[in-house]
Amino acid sequence: MKIGRRCFLSFLIGGAAGTALTPLPWKLTDDLSIWTQTWPWTPVPPDGEINYVNSTCMLCSGGCGITVRKIDDRAVKIEGMKDHPVNNGGLCIMGLSGLQLLYGPRRVKEPMKRVGERGEGRWEKISWDAAIAELAQKLNTVRGSSPESVACITDESFGTVPHLFKRFMAAYGSPNLMITPTIQDSYEQTLKLMQGVDGIPGFDLENSKFVLSFGCGILEGWGSSSRMFQAHSRWTETGGKLVQVEPRLSVTAAKADKWVSLNPGTEAVLALGIAQVIIKDGLYNKDFVEKHCAGFEDWEGEDGKKYQGFKNFVLEAFTPDTVARLTGVSANMIQDLATNFVGAEKPIALAGRGKGYTPGSLHEFMAVHALNALVGNINQEGGVWTLDRPDYIGWGEPAQDPVAQKGNGTPRIDGAGTERYANTRSMVNTFAEAVNNGAAVEVLLVSGENPCYTLRGGEAVKKAFEKIPYIVSFSPYMDETAAGADLILPNHTYLERYQDVPAPFGLPIPIIGMTRPVVKPQCDSKHVGDTLILTAKKMGGSVRDAFGWENYEACLKETLGDLWGTLESDGFLVNADYTPPAWDMAFGDESKKFQFFNESYAHGNNKDIFSQLRIEGDPGAFPLILVPAESMRIASGPVADTPFVMKTIPDNVLKDKEIFVEVNPATAAAYGLRDGKSAALSTPAGRARVRVNLCEGIRPGMVAMATGLGRSANSRYIANKGVNFNDLIRPVPDPISGLDSAWGIRAKLERA
């Protein structure tokens, strides 16, 4: 017994000594040490050859050039394309994180058909053949009775894909194609009304020396954000000045050389007040105004009526005192603004609020544009230019069979293009109301848009979409509209497809960008162009005949013709030497003049011309005014923030799932609201629970809420966080354009 124990001990000691003389303990220690440094569950990205693909970003209408870095066939990073005429190497926060859309969990991975209740999230995967057959059959059925009850909402105006939709709808026989309007539409109408031009605006901001911005989100994403940032940086280098007129200290206001806070909604009044000073002091560009303008002085119309010209109208009605009272901007300040604006070399006045998603008030655009005319900065260096619409799509009208003719002859459900809104192409803002009022929409096609999120009106929008029996989404992402659709035919993302991207907003030079497949499709998706062509072919008849192309790529190549080569090799095609037409050639109509006023819109004809903008809500019940707070860090369009971008949202904008509203401490004190505490925000359109962010950078009496949050779909990184601003506001039609001009809504904020 005793020996046994001792022997065992001895054995152990021998074993320990022996082990110490082997590499075992040391090697094991080393290996375990390595094991603890490279846990097997941590991904190791495979290495490979670095290669780059040039393409064009399609996440907004900015048209920025991108260079995608790939490792073998994996895309690992998106960067701005160097020397690209739009963004010159820079890229915005969303563009930089586009790969999270490509590879992210919000993708719709294959065609899907709803099986559960709408929005329940139960889907049946179906094949492309079956999906297209189903859509074709559905469309053919509806076509038999009322083709005009098929509506389509899409996002862009130019380029082959929107033209395919236009063609499809025309051949099918429905006038109800709605292209989501933006400030571009308001600018186009301004150019039409004041310059008689059917064109698109360009702003030569890089060369401007004094920018008077009426609430434009120049640094919040206005057109191509990168381009605007670079222009701003150039101003700081070359002594260019930026004046921001806005009731809230937005980023643009903060970076501006001067922030002019005013009573919300009085931007047009201020613009005319400035015009008044300019005219009164005789500071305007007499050469331009006298030779190339009409409607400045009083005139007698062909109908024999006396019309008051812009000059006297402004001189009488917009004296500094009046304007100061209405806007809350001091008369001295108005005087200064006018003097500085006129005194500056190459001044420019800009309208189009925030990111430009809301078309805005046409009066405001015109009042602001009148300032440009007063200094003669039309089609001049550093001024507002006009460009032709892109014209490379020469397909001709599709043949229409009688059904199509009949359908196309019916009036649009949104009221666009009627006598009242003759210059307006489409008014998505009235869509929900129209449907709720009984307009028949049997099928709704949605491409590139996300109306269930972006349309304003809250409950009304929800109700309208519930009424539509059949919704088809072409979205590559499970966005709010796709989530509530009956059929999803997922498009490729912009990193997997070819598409032409012409005419980015605001660029003063004509450019066509090319989006191309950077990687092969990651999901079982199909180019929306191909889906349309295949559906048309499946439908047969005249619809099929309108789509002779084999597929979208063939269509694109054929359409672009000679341009294809350059686009394929460079990624874009630009006319860098473009100069806009000189003054004597610049203006359309018979007069060939810039028209401050004309007979269709002059004081007397439009009673409320250039007055303070309307706002919805009763001031008694809703003492405050809610306005959007837009930010580069929250995408507020159809596509929601990526996970990376979500990381950049400050914690006094979004905390956990709660959204904050900016309130001036003085206002907060008056309503007993404290910093960080919960509050109930209500407007005539809806109500929401929010938290209070006391902020000195907002005018008392106002509430600002971030846009782009409150998404119900997409991925868990964004869904159900915050409140959708669009649910708290309702569209207010502009009296001239009919487009949404709601810049804010009356609101009430109570302690919760």
Spatial distance between the Cα atoms of 296 and 290, rounded to a whole number of angstroms: 8
Q: How far is the CB of 537 from another protein (least distance, A)?
A: 32
213: closest CA among 165, 254, 185? 254
Q: How far is the CB of 513 from another protein (least distance, A)?
A: 17
Alpha-carbon torsion (431, 435, 441, 446), positive or negative: positive
Q: How far is the CB of 268 from another protein (least distance, A)?
A: 21
> Coil, strand or helix: which one is 556?
helix
Q: Which is nearer to another protein, 352 or 617 (CB)?
A: 352
Q: How many CB atoms lie within 10 A of CB 70?
A: 17
Spatial distance between the Cα atoms of 275 and 278, rounded to a whole number of angstroms: 5
Check if the beta carbon of residue 622 is closer than 8 Å to that of residue 686: no
Q: Which is nearer to another protein, 181 or 490 (CB)?
A: 490
Q: How far is the CB of 282 from another protein (least distance, A)?
A: 31
Q: How far is the CB of 157 from another protein (least distance, A)?
A: 25
Element spanning 275, H or E: helix 267-280
Q: How far is the CB of 546 from another protein (least distance, A)?
A: 37
Q: How far is the CB of 38 from another protein (least distance, A)?
A: 5
Check if the beta carbon of residue 308 is closer than 8 Å to that of residue 296: no
Q: Which is nearer to another protein, 119 or 700 (CB)?
A: 700
Q: Which is nearer to another protein, 106 or 369 (CB)?
A: 106
Q: How far is the CB of 75 from another protein (least distance, A)?
A: 7
Alpha-carbon torsion (180, 480, 126, 524), positive or negative: positive
Q: How far is the CB of 105 from another protein (least distance, A)?
A: 4
Q: Which is nearer to another protein, 7 or 582 (CB)?
A: 7
The contacts of residue 57 (CB under 8 Å, 6+ apart) are 63, 64, 65, 66, 78, 91, 95, 98, 494, 515
156: closest CA among 648, 584, 406, 512? 512
Determine the angle formed by the axes of helices 528-539 and 160-172, rounding to 10 degrees: 20
Q: Which is nearer to another protein, 40 or 620 (CB)?
A: 40
- Tell me the CA distances in angstroms from 410 to 147, 149, 162, 278, 440, one per residue in order: 10, 10, 21, 48, 12
Q: How far is the CB of 576 from another protein (least distance, A)?
A: 20
Q: Which is nearer to another protein, 234 or 557 (CB)?
A: 234
Strands 702-706 vs 658-663: parallel, antiparallel or unpaired: antiparallel
Amino acid at 607: K
Q: Integer distance in angstroms from the first to the last C-alpha of the chain? A: 81
Q: Which is nearer to another protein, 260 or 489 (CB)?
A: 260
Q: Which is nearer to another protein, 247 or 398 (CB)?
A: 247
Q: How many CB atoms lie within 10 A of CB 116?
A: 10
Q: How far is the CB of 64 from another protein (least distance, A)?
A: 9
Degrees, nearest 5: CA angle 31-36-42: 120
Check if the beta carbon of residue 544 is closer than 8 Å to that of residue 537: yes
Q: How far is the CB of 251 from another protein (least distance, A)?
A: 5
Q: How far is the CB of 646 from another protein (least distance, A)?
A: 6
> Coil, strand or helix: which one is 380?
coil
444: closest CA among 469, 427, 425, 476? 469
Q: Which is nearer to another protein, 10 or 405 (CB)?
A: 10
Q: Which is nearer to another protein, 245 or 428 (CB)?
A: 245
Q: Which is nearer to another protein, 76 or 130 (CB)?
A: 76
Q: How far is the CB of 183 from another protein (least distance, A)?
A: 20
Spatial distance between the Cα atoms of 274 and 280, rounded to a whole number of angstroms: 10
Amino acid at 394: G
Q: How far is the CB of 61 from another protein (least distance, A)?
A: 16
**Paired residues of 66 in beta bridges:** 55, 80
Spatial distance between the Cα atoms of 495 and 98, rounded to a whole number of angstroms: 8
Q: Which is nearer to another protein, 107 or 711 (CB)?
A: 107
Q: Which residue has the tokens 């260079």?
A: 67
DSSP 477: B
Rounded to the nearest 5°, which phi and psi values hold at 578? Answer: -60, 130
- Tell me the CA distances in angstroms from 559 to 276, 392, 401, 552, 619, one per residue in order: 50, 7, 24, 10, 54
Q: How far is the CB of 419 from another protein (least distance, A)?
A: 43
Q: Which is nearer to another protein, 26 or 411 (CB)?
A: 26
> Coil, strand or helix: which one is 180?
coil
Q: Which residues in 190-346 belong to E strands, given as ranges? A: 200-203, 210-214, 241-245, 258-260, 293-294, 299-300, 306-307
655-658's contacts with Cβ under 8 Å and 24+ in sequence apart are 655/691, 656/721, 657/720, 657/721, 657/722, 658/689, 658/690, 658/691, 658/722
Q: How far is the CB of 23 from another protein (least distance, A)?
A: 5
Q: Which is nearer to another protein, 197 or 668 (CB)?
A: 668
The contacts of residue 707 (CB under 8 Å, 6+ apart) are 628, 629, 630, 634, 636, 725, 726
Spatial distance between the Cα atoms of 499 and 494, rounded to a whole number of angstroms: 8
Q: How far is the CB of 498 from another protein (least distance, A)?
A: 22
Q: Cα-Cα-Cα-Cα dihedral of 337, 339, 342, 348, to 10°?
A: -10
Q: Which is nearer to another protein, 374 or 640 (CB)?
A: 640
Spatial distance between the Cα atoms of 635 and 456, rounded to a whole number of angstroms: 16
Q: Which is nearer to another protein, 293 or 333 (CB)?
A: 333
Q: Which is nearer to another protein, 257 or 545 (CB)?
A: 257
Structure tokens at 710: 């409150």
Spatial distance between the Cα atoms of 380 and 366, rounded to a whole number of angstroms: 18
